[in-house]
Amino acid sequence: MLLLSEVIIANPQVENFEALVAVLKQVSKGSDERFFRMDVKPDYTDVPDNWEDRLEAAFY
């Protein structure tokens, strides 16, 4: 299971939500993980209200 906190910690260069979405797409394509858990809320100023839906779509 891929955790959002692990993605954020492993990619300290990410500075906004859109960059996080792009990184998550790359990580999910290069990983054999089948499940994704959002264990933290991203702490960026541009996080949209539908952030969970956006990240889930980026993973799958």
pLDDT interval class at 60 (50, 70, 90): very high
Q: Which tens digit of pLDDT belongs to each residue from 9-42?
A: 999 999 999 999 999 999 999 999 999 999 999 9
pTM of the model: 0.93
Helix (H, G, I), strand (E, B) or coil at 51: helix
Residue 25 is predicted with a pLDDT of 98
